[in-house]
Amino acid sequence: MPASRFTPLIAALPATVPFVAAEAMERARGAPFRARIGANESVFGPSPKAVAAMRAAADDVWLYGDPEVFELKAAIAAAHGVTPDHVVVGEGIDALLGQTVRLFVEAGTPVVTSQGGYPTFDYHVAGHGGSFVRVPYVDDREDLDGLIAAADRSGAPLAYFANPDNPMATWWEAAAVEAAVARLPAGTLLILDEAYGEFAPAGVLPRIDPDDPRVLRFRTFSKAHGMAGLRVAYGIGAPEVTRAFDKIRNHFGIGRIAQAGALAALGDGVWLAEVIAAVNRSKARIAAIAAANGLTSLPSATNFVAVDCGRDGAFARAVLDGLIARDLFVRKPGLAPMDRCIRISAGTDADLHLLAAALPLALADAAAAVVPA
């Protein structure tokens, strides 16, 4: 029988997963985690109004969802002061990133991104044969000026920038982002990933002309709205950009229950404010636990904290392994110098009680196992 006729690009790519899921780790360990504070999910859950809306919609789940996502797009547009033509909705930011890359990237196309930034974006670029133009972090932040300069130098049609950032939780002020947008070269689209935008302090989210075809900003219902399992996100951009998604998107990708839940969540500002307050309390507790163990935490504009373990990536990996061995699901950045940190998502009081007990033991194990270079 002849071999499968994959394209040369697909045949050459490794079969990789950008993130190893907690479920996969639990299967490998043969035991569940007691605290799941590694994937930046919201342990505080979705709005009760969203849950009620999804339950009501379940009776009609035999129907396809509206392929135009009409009501949800209208509500998103109203919330952001734009028209529905400025909005595209997709199955999470990851799907929207993949579609954006498909619109602009083919074999050999240069694409600008941060070295050590969001790996799922890299996954999509590699899947379409793009050529990476990587810009290192500076002072634990994405190098915004460096990204703009790299786009200008390379002629890249796409540049990716997350603000606030994952994996470091750092950020740039709105004025700096607005100034960077003004310097974007013609023909470059800046993907402004604001997945953690609801958690950002005042003065972080920029004012950008929604008709500017050089910027496409993404938001999600996975983080502050507590609906990561639903897979709904949206982009705001110039209609000439958002309309292009209709050429390639999965028109029935957002199911009926998902649309109902996201619409209700968007309308529950009281719940959103309560979640943000709970996240801020949790982050303060994580920082206090870190400090009690002689560690420092980076300032955070997200729903997680990057904790500096004080040495190199090997030591931080040993600390992470010690936490995992004690049934805490936590993650860490993959590249130096950010890999000296571990990344801890906001958790419940019970989660953080487990962290407080496990962290000193994990640090002791790491200190015994990893000899300083």
Instruction: Tell me which of 268, 296, 313 is where a domain ends.
Output: 268
The amino acid present at 74, given as its one-letter code, is A
Task: Determine how β-strand 328-329 pairs with β-strand 304-308.
Answer: unpaired
Domain stop point among 215, 235, 268: 268
Q: What percent of the chain has pLDDT over 90?
A: 96
Element holding 263 (H helix, E strand): helix 256-266
- Tokens in use for 226? 């507590």
Host H or E run for residue 35: strand 35-36
In a domain, 3, yes or no: no
In a domain, 1, yes or no: no
Instruction: Specify whether 126 is located in the same domain as 34.
Output: no
Same domain? For 191 and 314 the reply is no
The label of the residue with tokens 């982050």 reads 283
Q: What is the CATH number of the domain that holds 317?
A: 3.90.1150.10
**Which CA distances in Å does 267 have to 76, 120, 225, 255, 277?**
10, 29, 11, 19, 18
Q: How confident is the model at residue 20 (pLDDT cuts 50, 70, 90)?
A: confident
Dihedrals phi, psi of 155, to nearest 5 degrees: 70, 25
DSSP string, 109-150: -EEEEEETS-HHHHHHHHHTT-EEEEEE-BTTB--HHHHHHH
How buried is residue 85: exposed, middle or buried, by Cβ count under 10 Å (0-12/13-18/19+)?
middle
Residue whose token pair is 């507790």: 285
Would you state the structure tokens that stand for residue 346, as one six-digit string? 């906001």
Which pLDDT value is given to residue 19? 85
Residue 232 shares a structural domain with residue 342: no
Q: Are residues 125 and 185 in the same domain?
A: yes
Closest CA to 70 of 256, 213, 272, 265: 256
Do 251 and 105 lie in one domain? The reply is yes
Residues 213 and 161 in one domain: yes
Q: Which of 268, 285, 316 is at the close of a domain? A: 268
pLDDT band of residue 1 (cuts 50, 70, 90) is: low
Pair 172, 242 in one domain: yes
Residues 136 and 215 in one domain: yes
Helices 313-325 and 349-369 cross at an angle (nearest 10°) of 130
Task: Give the pLDDT confidence of 125-165 residue by residue, as tens digits.
Answer: 999 999 999 999 999 999 999 999 999 999 999 999 999 99
Q: Report yes or no on 2 lying in a domain.
A: no
- The verdict on pTM exceeding 0.75 is yes
Predicted local distance difference test score (pLDDT) of residue 17: 82
Over residues 338-365, the pLDDT tens digits come to 999 999 999 999 999 999 999 999 999 9
- Domain count for the chain, please give it: 2
For residue 220, the enclosing domain spans: 48-268
